[in-house]
Amino acid sequence: MVIQTKEMRYLQDHFRTYYTNNQVILPPRFESREWGFFLFGSNVWKRHVKFETPEDVGDFLKKVAPLHSYHSTAYYEDSGLQPMADKVKGWEGADLIFDLDADHLRNAETMTINQQLDNVKDMVRKLIYEFLLDDFGFKPSDINLAFSGNRGYHIHVRRPSVIDLDTHQRQEIVDYITGTGLDDEMVLPKEYSSATTFKGKVSSVDYTRNMPGFDATGWGKRIRKGYGDLLESVPMGTQEDCISYLKQLKQEYVIQGYGEKTIEKTAELLAGTSKGRSNIDVMKETGDLLSPDKKVSSFLIALTVKHSSIHMAGETDEPVTKDTKRMIRLMGSLHGKTALRVTPLTLEELEEFDPLKHAVVFPADEVEVEIVKEFKLDMMDQTFDLTEGVQKIPEYLACYLLGRRVAKLTK
């Protein structure tokens, strides 16, 4: 048992009031799912909980007011059975889950929380519209979307055809989305233009590689668009600026096998002109890689593939998607680190959704707290630039900061 601070007691009282006056959103077949909770004042994971009725869930939340609330993505014959090994024998399938979080963003540490949330939303749109709806052919009705309550989103796919997928099949989905193992020569085939022979055998072959056309589909379409987006992102400055940017991308995308010389040649190409037009403009318009240097062309292709994929290299997403026994946050519950609501959303609602406004559940009554770490945040259409010391702030912000452990109560 952990000694509970007055800050945690304050939060738990607020959580209890919330659960007394609000209903959570139960997942389909909730009685066949395992439930798990982290409780205030405890560092023990309370798992293998089973509920028979919606009233049982509501009564538990009102009485216990947990710090974090989860249910399994899986369905079981007996969801309360333990140990886990025995329960797995009665596994009946699992939802397909994607968990996109700010931890997955490249350079997340350089962004504000608001910027992280905006960038994660862009990644969610890309995953849903380009991959799930377009490439995989899911329908909007197959997709259940929720803000995670912290810095990301959960996507639940509950179409019957995915319920029985095993871990390896789910990993194949992740690999497709991330471009892992993508054979770029299938998407950008080599076009051979000349060859020389010696004693009847081909001794050398020249070839070119261009981006797919705008009418391409699947990864071809994605790479064609990504090529334009990549070129658009290149700074229109000196060759040195371009070199610096390419080095940054190479590091962010973890691209191996290209040295300083290739980067310098690529920067020279991108910073150059052709017949009075910038090479970048020509390349965007034609899809041409322009460079006769095969290493430069290969480097541009590698950058484009990474730029076109969804990054899931964080500690959560890949295991969540391939895990057939994962626990996921209960929609409508409160996140213990932010006091924000795990908010269900339609695809239309996602466009205008502002987590730091629409997931806020507590009032604006003033609360006196001591800020123990400088903190800046845009919340409820206000900018809070907080310095260390005693201040009065809205209750919803106080709960958020108490959960993040950057504020203390003064009373």
Segment among 82-86, 137-141, 212-216, 307-311 with least mean pLDDT: 307-311
Distances (CA, A) of 313 to 103, 131, 218, 319: 9, 17, 22, 10
Place of tokens 């749109």: 125
Span 251-275, average pLDDT: 91
Q: Which pairs count as long-range contacts for 363-368, CB under 8 Å and 24+ apart, including other chains? A: 363/394, 363/395, 363/396, 364/394, 364/395, 364/396, 365/394, 365/395, 366/392, 366/393, 366/394, 366/395, 367/392, 367/393, 367/394, 367/395, 367/398, 367/409, 368/392, 368/409, 368/410, 368/411
**pLDDT at residue number 316:** 38
Q: What is the pTM of this model?
A: 0.87
Q: Could you read off the pLDDT of 35-55 as tens digits, one per residue?
A: 999 999 888 899 999 999 999
Confidence (pLDDT) at 270: 93
pLDDT at 313: 47
Q: Which of 1-5, 50-54, 330-334 has the lowest mean pLDDT?
A: 1-5
Let me know if 163 is exposed, middle or buried by CB neighbors in 10 A (0-12, 13-18, 19+).
middle
Q: Is the pLDDT of residue 1 over 50?
A: yes
Report, as an integer, the average pLDDT of 140-155.
Answer: 96
Confidence of residue 107 (pLDDT cuts 50, 70, 90): confident
Q: What domains are defined for the chain?
A: 6-175+314-361 (3.90.920.10), 184-308 (no CATH), 362-411 (3.40.5)
Residue in 204, 176, 187 with CA at minimum distance from that of residue 322:
176
Residues carrying an active site annotation: 99, 101, 317
Cis status, amide bond into 83, omega within 30 of 0: yes
213 pLDDT higher than 70? yes
CB burial readout 64-74, b (16+ within 10 A) else e:
bbbbbbbbbbb
Q: 32, 146, 141, 176: which is closest to 93 by C-alpha?
A: 32
Per-residue pLDDT of 160-179, as tens digits, reads 999 999 999 999 999 898 88
Q: What does the pLDDT look like over 265-316, one tens digit per residue?
A: 999 999 988 888 999 999 988 888 888 888 998 999 999 988 888 765 443 3
Residue 60's Cβ-side half-sphere holds a number of Cα atoms within 13 Å equal to 22
Evaluate if residue 193 carries a pLDDT over 70. no
